A = this chain, B = another copy of it.
Amino acid sequence: MYTVMNRIAVDAAHAPAFETNVVHSFAPLRQVPGLYRVTLLRPTQVGQPYVSSMEWDDEAHFRAWMASPPFQDAHAPPQGQLRDLLGGANVVEHFETVADQRA
């Protein structure tokens, strides 16, 4: 399993529009091979970023998506407008799964 987390600083005033845009952008991801979960997590403390996560079967599927037309579509406007809306810092981190235990 391969997880890509995007840590996104969002001004409180822009948070509702940000959430709406991100949730809207999730729908087409349902069709992406090897991507089995996407989440958007809202911070509970001031100064903490939102975290948007993508959980992949493996890194190869993530790389294939990055090179695909659907990825280009997802990063054309209105995503471009979304980026303008955000303005703040945006840090992407990649992880390999060591353990994944479910109840």
| Contact call B103/A44, Cβ cutoff below 8 A | no
Interface SS of chain A: helix, strand, loop or mixed? strand
Q: A5-B51, A51-B5 given as contacts; is B93 within 8 A of A39 (CB)? A: no
Task: Report copies per complex.
Answer: 2
CB-defined contacts of A42 to chain B, threshold 8 Å: 95-98
CB-defined contacts of A41 to chain B, threshold 8 Å: 3, 95-98
Which of chain A's residues 6-38 have a Cβ closer than 8 Å to chain B? 19, 22-23, 26-27, 29-30, 32, 35-38
Query: Which size bracket describes the interface of A in this complex?
Result: 35 or more
Residue of B nearest to A20 (CB): B98
Interface string of A73-97 (1 = CB under 8 A from B): 0000000000000000000011111
| Contact call A102/B37, Cβ cutoff below 8 A | yes
